[in-house]
Structure formats: C-alpha cells, structure tokens
Amino acid sequence: MTDGKRRKGLLAASALLGGVLVLSACSSGAGTSGGGDGKSSQAQVDEAAAKKTSEAQIKITPGDGSNNASINNSAAVTVSKGTLTDVKMTTSEGKEVSGEISADKTSWKPTGQLDRATTYKLTATAQDSEGRAAHENASFTTVSPKNSFIGTFTPDDGSTVGVGMPVSINFDKAITDKAAVQKGITVSTSSGQEVACHWFNANRMDCRPEDYWQGGSTVTLKLALDGVEGASGVYGVQQKTVTFTIGRNQVSYVDAKTKQMRVTQDGKVIKTIPISAGSPENKTYEGQMVISEKFKETRMNGATVGFTDDDGEGEYDIKDVPHAMRLSTSGTFIHGNYWGAKSIFGGANTSHGCVGLSDTKGAGDPNTPGAWFYDNSMVGDVVVVQNTGDKTIAPDNGLNGWNMDWAQWKAGSAL
C-alpha cells in the first residue's frame, strides 16, 4: 500500500471510530440525564404516578367471570381505605338493578333477590381521604335453573291453618344429599313441641310434631338452602323465613257405619252432621286426612280419577259441586251434594269414595250442612274417617302423614 493510500485508510478508520464514540456518548448521556441521584426518568414517572393513585381498595363479589353465583348473597361491593361514591349494577341487556350504599359508605348490596341464569355487570367507584378516585368492574352469571333447586312449600307465609297442617316441601329436582338439605331447613313452634321431618321420596319432605299442633301457636319455617348442594352440581337458592299461625283445634270424625260426622273443637262436639260416604263398591279410605284445598264450587269428573264407563267417559261429570274440600291427592273430597236424595244423608253410603253432605245447587244457601261445614272449616283441619271397611290412606296421599306413628315418622329423617 502506498503512503497516500495508508493515510486515507487511517483517516477513514479515525472517522469511523469517532462516529462510534459520538454515538456511544449520546446513548450514555440519555441514560444519566436529569440529575446525579442514579434514578432513571422512568422510575421518577412511576413514582409520581403512584403518588396520584387512590388508596381506596374496592372488592366486588363474586369475582369477575364467576358462574353459578348465588341469587341471594352475590353482588356485594366493599371498600377499604376509602368510601363508595357510586355503584351501578345492570343485566347484560342493560336493565338496572336497584341497590343501596351503606350509611358508612363502605359497602353496597342490591335491595332485591337476583334472577337465575342472568349475567350481571357491576361498576363501582370510590375515593380515598385525599379525594382520589378508584374504579372497579366485574361481571358474573347467577346459577341456572338446570343447576339449582327450589322447594315449593305449604302453608303460605302469614296464613292461619288448622292443627293438622304439616310443613310440606316439594323440590323441583331429585335430592340425593338429603342430609345436607335437611340441615338447611328448620321448623320450630312457639308451643315448644318437638318437630321432626320425614322424606317420602327424593322430592318431598314433610315436617310435623308427634301430636297435632297446639291451637294458637306460631310455627316458623327457615330455609337456609342458598349454596347447599342437594345433588351433584345442583345447588339451593332459597334463603327465607316463613311464619304461620295455628287456629282453633277442630277435628271432625266421619263414621261410615252410623253415617254421621261429629265436629269437635278442643275435644268437644259442637255439631253432628248426617253424611253419605263411599258405597260398598267404592269405599272411602280410612284414616286421618287433612283439608288441603277449599273450593266454593268445582268440577268433578270421574275420568280424572279412574271411574270410566265402557266408552271411556267418566261415570260422573258434575261441573258445579258445591263446598268441596280436598282430603287426598288422589281425589278424595268432603263436599256438598245437591243431586242425591235427601234420604241418603244419614241413611246410605252412595258415593264413589268421597264424603257427601246435603247441599243446594249453586252453593248459595248458607243454611245447608254442606255450607255450614265449609264456612266453619279451614285448610289444615283434620277429618278422621272411620268404619268404611277400606284400607288406611297412604301417608303421602295428600297431607296425611299423621297416619304414621311417631317412630315411623322419625325414621324417615335424613339426620
């Protein structure tokens, strides 16, 4: 290489090296600019942002994305290190759900029960002592009907019923863990009577004392079934308290042999009424039966309970049976009868299994035996049928568990 070429090469290398040094110097300068304390500009930005962040900590339950959430205890919002300023809850379709912030502004809950199989959205805002705002959002879906069970119960809250009225609960799903469900149900009475529950099958549980309820007492049913797993993947949703009152002690005794009914209150006979029970071919069940429904007038068609003629039509079809009161699920009633001769009442058993009382068409005469008994009876009163020659009614055929002795009854408990 000639000297001229060597000098040009050295100059080029020197220029290249200088460029590297300059670039390195710029990079190094950017990393240390802004002061000599060793902190980067990004750290300072983070520190400044942290000083502006609210200390309020919002918690929404259930957690975002939850499924099978409770319809009773879900949708709670709480805050620590701050107070709530606004909470909004809507369905996924935009329907707003009413709720209330607590007096101390640290919690919020909806004011009503949520719907099943519904997606809800919650937006909450709070502020800390410095007035700095914090925000939180969540969405969850409540338990679906497929994954939940409900118990339909009798009697109704606030009702007054007769001394024979059991608490009867019918579940809309078969219960496989009966013990877990029964633990979530309590029945107590102001009289202090011991109450036991009996499972008739996977869907029905009744509760009663050993003897009839004491007249004038108050019975309380508590359902704490929310979240209770009654079957695999199937959860309870009910959380409520029900109270009802026991009325006067009225028990009526139907004697198919004498064809008379003695109506008693507190053990004393207050009226004797001539009756007509089931015929020898269609005997009335014997046993203790509880009035479960009352109808001033109703239709009775034999075809609905198996009484049909050769053409498949009902052996009877009376569209205006007066003063009818149900005694069994299978169709046993005690009711007024206007179509039979007056001589049958107290004289002959002629019915298809019901207990008939003399009455008039249209249920408009208050002076008939049928009207009197209807007006002086209530749901839950007991009618004891005797001397028919038929078998004792099944305890689960209506509200008739009184036909089991106490030991048998308690043996049906899951606890």
Active site residues per annotation: 335, 354
Q: Would you give the distance in Å from CA 189 to the centre of its chain? A: 21
**Residue among 285, 257, 305, 294 at smallest CA distance from 395:** 285
Structure tokens at 407: 């030991």
Q: Are 244 and 266 in contact (CB under 8 A)?
A: no
| Long-range Cβ contacts of 193-199 (<8 Å, 24+ apart) | 193/217, 196/406, 196/409, 196/410, 196/413, 197/412, 197/413, 197/414, 197/415, 198/401, 198/404, 198/409, 198/410, 198/412, 198/413, 199/412, 199/413, 199/414
State residue 312 phi and psi, 5-degree precision: 85, 5
**Type of residue found at 165:** M
**Type of residue found at 183:** K
Q: Are 117 and 144 in contact (CB under 8 A)?
A: yes
Q: Is 2 exposed, middle or buried (0-12, 13-18, 19+ CB in 10 A)?
A: exposed
